[in-house]
Structures are given as structure tokens and as C-alpha cells.
Amino acid sequence: MPPQPISPLDGRYRSTVEPLGEHLSEAGLNRARVHVEVEWLLFLTDHRLFGTEPVDAESARALRTWAAGFGQEEIDELAALEATTRHDVKAIEYLVRRKLADLGLAALAELTHFACTSEDVNNLSYALTIRAAVQDVWLPRLRDVLAALRERAEEGRAVPMLSRTHGQPATPTTIGKEFAVFVARAERVLARIEAVQPLGKFSGATGTFAAHLAADPGADWPALSREFVTGLGLTWNPLTTQIESHDWQAELFTAISHLNRILHNVCTDVWTYISLGYLTQVPQPGATGSSTMPHKINPIRFENAEANLELSSALLESLAATLVTSRLQRDLTDSTTQRNIGVALGHSLLALDNLAKGLGEIAIAPDVLAADLDANWEVLGEAIQTVIRAEVTAGRSSIADPYALLKELTRGKRVGAEELRAFVEGLDIGDAAKQRLLQLTPATYVGIADRLGDYLD
């Protein structure tokens, strides 16, 4: 066979996760590195440091256009350079120097990577690529999932459903309210994700501006660093070692993992509702559920999403735990670790894609829900004992221990509609309370479930 991808993300699922490669691939990282190197050089000349003059507009535009158009030619040239340098960022420096010569800007070559440690370039490049990957690729697919969940919540807003606390028949709800719960949970965590501020440092080998100050003691290097970092749309971090400490990445990955786990709960609940018949799966033309059982429609969208959410969270939590530690002023453990950010987000993106599609391929089964409710009248035991307790408190009943009375009637038993109504008829309670209970059915015992979705923003 010709060379084959070892990861399913680069093989079977490539078309789904490919947009992440624009940002979180090696090429995406190198494009960002070139961008940072070019912007730093132009920043230095724009500030007339070391006797320079600003690069003319045409040359600056040509340099930026080249950086933005980073493609296969640059990828191949970098590979050749790195084969000699054995250092990825040094190869970037040499690539930029060559371009400066091509544009007649060789006199500025020594400003390439000026006073930079590799991590000055790397931390900004990762911040830019992670931010772009999350905002441009991952978040839009997440919003597709949230929109699908909201649609299911609205569709089932007033459709009663038997609850299954501990897997057992329990106080009814509406199926829409249960979907609304997931929307509220996910959107709360989404707000945390959106609030994370990518940080950037640009302060030299140990974060002290030592080389900068040696080159020009009169320049306000912290102010220049802040201006440069914030000019890239990042938040400046003045207190670092050689590396930016990655705490913002840990915050982001932890929050995304948390959201993954909420969506994992969506998958397991929807899978269970399908198993119970509460939800049906809409047959897709040409699809096969089983290689031997033609009748089957397997809930594979939710199973695939469940597995990929687990993989994503495992990787994200490992990243968050590993990246916040660096020995003394620098070690290289983060280099390999960060190269797996795309893999971690890729599994989450694949899950989001399956979940969005899966939620669009299900339908509520109101007849099944109604039949299940009608078969479980004993769930009204809660309502009856609560009403009796209220009547006793109000002086309209002398029943002792209402809870024990209903426990004796219903616990572990099936109680039919007529049996339960006869029981209510014989209760020593006020007429108004008795009539309320006699009118109650499992399908109407849902409180304000149909209105709780209004609390979604």
C-alpha cells in the first residue's frame, strides 16, 4: 500500500475535520509563525528603531501578502531548511530572510527574529491559530448543535413524558423541557469558553527583555511589547519565564472538555430515549443499520459522537494538566503536547458533526410517550401524598402519615387509573383538593414543564 494515515481524523474522517487543518496543522502553525515574524520586523521599522525608516507601503504590502499566502511552496522550502537547521523556528527565520532579499529588503535581514526567543514567536502563533480554530471552525459547529437542541426543546415543549429517575418511572416532565436543560447547561459553559482571553508574551529568552535592553537601553521595551502583542488581537502577559505559561490554554481546554461531557450526556440520554421508543429515527435513503438485520436503524450518530467526545476530553484534560508545568524557566514538554491540540479539537468537531446530524434525524413519538404514561398511574402517588399533607396542615384532614399511606399503596406495584381514583374518592380531604386529584393524570402531572423553556436566553 502507499503511505497511509495512522489517525482516523486524517483518514476516514478527514473531510469533516479538514477545516481545522487550516489552523492547527504544522503548516497552519508555520504560516502563523511567518506572520508574526513579518509583523515584528515591520513593527520595528514603523517605530524607527535602530535608525531604520518604515518599509515603503508597496514592499510592506508585498511582504504581508506573501505571509498570508503561505502555501505548498513555502511548506516545501521550510522542510528543506529544517533538514539543515534541525530547528523549526530557525528555519522560519531563514525563510523570511530569503523573502526580504527577493523584495530588495536585505538591509533589514538582521531585524528578522530580532531579540526573540523561539517561544516569543511560538506562543503568539499558537494563540492566533487556536483562537481562529475555535472561533472559525469549532464554535460554528457547536452552535449548529445548540440550534438543533433548541429546536427539539421547542418541538417537545408541551409533549408529556414519563421521567426515569434511577431508570424507574418517576414524576412526569415534558421531553422538550429535558432538551432545554441541556441547552441551558451547554450555553453556560459556552459563555466561559467565549470569555477566555488568549495571552501573549514577547519578552525574550527568560521574559526579562535583557537582549532588548542591551540593544537599545533607551527604548520602552515593555510598552513596545504590549503594543505589538495587543496589535495582534491578543492580551499581553508581562510576567513570564521563557514561555507564556499556557494557563489560558488550560482554561480553554478544560471548559471545552466540560462542554464535551455535557454533550456526552445528550448522547446517552437520546440513545436511551430511542431505546425506549420515545424518539424514533428517521430512515435515511440508502443507509444500512445492520449487515444482517435489515429492519434496524442503529443510533450510530450518537454512539460515534459519544466515543469522540470521550477521546477529545481525555486529550484536552491531558493538555490542560501538562501545559501548566514547565521546569524552571523552560522545558520542551509543551512542544510535542501542543502539536496535539488539533487532534483534541478534531475529535470534538467530529462529535459535533455527528450530533448535529443525529439530532436532525430523530422525531418525537407522542403515542409511545402517552402509552407509557397511561401505564404508570402510580407516579401520581407523589401528588396525592403531597396534597394530603397540605390538607392535614390546613385542618381539612386527619390522615396520619400520608407518605406511608401512599407508599403502602404504590411502592413496587402497578396501580391502574380506576384503582387510584377509587382510593382518592375515599380520602378524608376537602372537596376542592379531591377534585383536583381526580382530574389529574400522569400526562397532566407535569407542573410548569411546558413553560420552563422560557428561561432560556
Q: What is the set of active-site residues?
A: 166, 290
Crossing angle of helices 247-276 and 341-359, rounded to 10°: 30
* Residue 287 φ then ψ, to 5°: -80, 150
Gyration radius from the chain CA atoms: 31
Strand partners, 362: 281
| Helix, strand, or coil (residue 17) | helix
According to DSSP H, which parts of 47-117 are helical?
57-68, 72-85, 88-102
d(CA 355, CA 145): 7
Quick check: helix, strand or coil at residue 176? helix
SS3 content of the chain, % helix, strand, coil (to 5): 65, 5, 30
In degrees rounded to 5, what are phi and psi of residue 194? -70, -20
Nearest 5°: CA angle at 436, between 388 and 376? 80
- Report d(CA 265, CA 253) in Å as an integer: 18
CA 9: distance to chain centroid? 17
Residues 6+ apart with CB under 8 A from 250: 319, 320, 321, 323, 324
How far is residue 63's CA from residue 102's CA, in Å, rounded to a whole number? 10
- Residue 395 has a CB neighbour count (10 Å cut-off) of 8
The answer for residues whose C-beta is within 8 angstroms of residue 202's C-beta and 6 or more apart is 40, 116, 120, 124, 225, 228, 229, 236
